[in-house]
Chain A
Amino acid sequence: MSVDLVSDDMQRRRAIPLFDGGLARRGFALNAMCFSFNDRANREAFVADEEAYCAKFGLTPEQRDAVARRDVLAMLEAGGNVYYLAKLAGIFGLGVQDLGALQTGMSVDEFKAMLARWADKVPADARVALCANFGEAV
């Protein structure tokens, strides 16, 4: 791969942003706490004493603050990965549309309407089950 393509991809990682080594290092403690929420007992321990539970995982002040404020974008900025953060969101009773609304500043209904509008970009024949035979081997 050429140097240019590599630097394009590194640029994409920062722009989108993508969860690479930089974010994975920054977010380790927060993600470790979220990973622990696969166990019900840990979810209950968090709810019972959030401060103590966060302290046990050594969250950075930035991470602790983002969790306290239920600020999803700040959690991402602090290195949280959405696959793990979803388990924390579950404790708060938030689904992925709630998360989407929180991150985009829309209401949940506005966010759901935005999701549905993507269907307008689908050509009419795209949903139809085809029965095509591709006779050429790859």
Chain B
Amino acid sequence: MAKIIGGYFTSHVPGIGGAIVRGDQETPYWKPFFAGFPPIREWLAEAKPDVAVVFSNDHGLNFFLDTMPTFAVGAAAQYDNADEGWGLPVYKSFAGHPALSWHVIDALVRDEFDITTCQKMLVDHAVSIPFELIYPGAESWPIKLVPISINTVQYPLPSPKRCLALGRAVHRALTSWGGDERVLVCGTGGLSHQLDGPRAGFMNPEYDLFCLDNLAAHPDALTGHSAEQVAELAGTQGVEILNWIAARGAMGDAAMCEVSRNYHIPISNTAAASLLLEPA
């Protein structure tokens, strides 16, 4: 049985990648955001995960509107990043864990989650930047990747309730896996932000803190809204909280200890957060 050693949650704004390229981590603008990560890195140095199960959303690198899966699970031996069109560096590839991916896929479909299976999948900044933040300057990623992509682009989006249930089904899959991998569960994106329309620049600290305060102990509290209500509360891109909700579900229902939390406004157009949970 795989051991779930913790849950790592972070914003994944492309601007973070730009700040890293420029070496802006210590500037007054960026420092309050990057300050969230040293405690997570220290914890990782001890905890040494060897697999990361990552819930994120694609931003028009791998999926287009011709075929838009609600939930997609990667089953590749390798996941490449690629040019996203706005000048970020192309990040290094991740090694996959196809055997574990297929186990998760089998378990999910048996559990009546009829997901899409991807033997090829590009991963965008939503996967790369979170790992740049916790393993800065690494020659290669020290973890193997099992990526799970949630549609946050085109409505209908899955509900928060369904995302939590998906995560819990992933948890059941991980507990029935025969290997002894140390698994880090990750949820990326958010928190509140809106890029488009007359309400561009909208944030909602009250809703963000409601999410941060309840994710560990009361994740079901986050499922009382529809996806549309989340967009109203968190902004049109704030619906990326769905990735966090699913990831929390994948940690299982045991009690959680909040190891580290950081919340900062603004980075780019976004209310940013990082959070580390571990089973109590």
- Mark interface residues in B246-280 (1 if CB within 8 Å of A CB, else 0): 00000001111111111111101101000000001
CB distance from A123 to the nearest CB of B (A): 7
- Contact across chains for A87 and B84 when beta carbons are under 8 A apart: yes
Within 8 A of B (CB), among A38-65: 38-40, 43
Known: A19-B154, A38-B84, A134-B257. A122 touches B269 (CB 8 A): no
Structural contact, B199 and A16, CB atoms closer than 8 A: yes
Q: What is the minimal beta-carbon distance from A54 to any residue of chain B, in angstroms?
A: 17
The interface size of chain B toward A, counting residues with CB under 8 Å, comes to: 62
- Cα distance, A64 to B196, chains bound together (Å): 19
Q: Does A3 contact B (CB under 8 A)?
A: no
Q: Which residue of A lies closest to B18 (CB)?
A: A95
Q: Is the pair A82, B269 in contact by a Cβ cutoff of 8 Å?
A: no
What's the minimum C-beta distance from B163 to chain A, rounded to whole angstroms? 15
Known contacts A126-B209, A132-B257; is-contact A99 B36 (Cβ 8 Å): no
**Are B219 and A104 in contact, CB atoms less than 8 angstroms apart?**
no
Residue of chain A at shortest CB distance from B40: A129
Give every chain A residue within 8 A of B229 (Cβ-Cβ).
9, 12
Contact bitstring A101-131, B, C-beta under 8 A = 1, else 0? 0011000000100111011011100111111
Q: Establish whether residues B266 and A118, one from each chain, have CB atoms under 8 Å apart when the complex forms.
A: yes
Instruction: Tell me, rounded to whole Å, the shortest Cβ–Cβ distance linking A3 to chain B.
Output: 14
Q: How far is the CB of A86 from chain B (nearest CB, A)?
A: 6
Are B265 and A119 in contact (CB-based, < 8 A)? yes
Question: Across the interface, do A127 and B154 meet the contact criterion of CB distance under 8 Å?
Answer: no
Given A9-B229, A34-B60, A35-B64, A133 contacting B257 (CB threshold 8 A)? yes
Contacts of B153 in A (CB 8 A): 19, 81, 83
Give A17 to B219 CA distance when docked, in angstroms: 27
Residues A138 and B253 in contact in the complex (CB < 8 Å), given A90-B86, A96-B269: yes
B280 near A135 with CB under 8 A, answer yes
In angstroms, how far is the closest chain B Cβ from the Cβ of A6?
Answer: 9
* Chain A min CB distance to B40 (Å): 10
Residues of A within 8 A of B254 (CB): 137-138
Q: CA of A90 to CA of B198 in the docked complex: distance in angstroms?
A: 20
Residues of B183-208 contacting chain A, CB below 8 A: 195-201, 203, 205-206
Measured CB to CB, the closest approach of chain B to A105, in angstroms, equals: 9
Give 25 pairs: A residue, B residue, CB < 8 Å, sorted on A. Answer: A12-B229, A16-B232, A28-B65, A40-B83, A81-B153, A82-B237, A83-B153, A84-B60, A90-B86, A96-B15, A99-B196, A100-B195, A100-B201, A103-B196, A118-B265, A122-B209, A126-B212, A127-B32, A127-B264, A129-B39, A132-B258, A133-B257, A134-B280, A137-B255, A138-B253
Residues on B close to A: CB < 8 A? 15, 32, 36, 39, 59-61, 64-65, 82-87, 153-156, 195-201, 203, 205-206, 209, 212, 216-220, 226-229, 231-232, 236-237, 253-266, 268-269, 271, 280
Q: A32-B64, A73-B198 are in contact. List 20 more A-B contacts (CB 8 A).
A: A9-B227, A12-B232, A13-B228, A16-B236, A18-B155, A19-B153, A20-B156, A38-B82, A81-B60, A84-B60, A90-B86, A95-B86, A96-B15, A104-B198, A115-B269, A122-B263, A127-B264, A133-B257, A133-B258, A138-B220
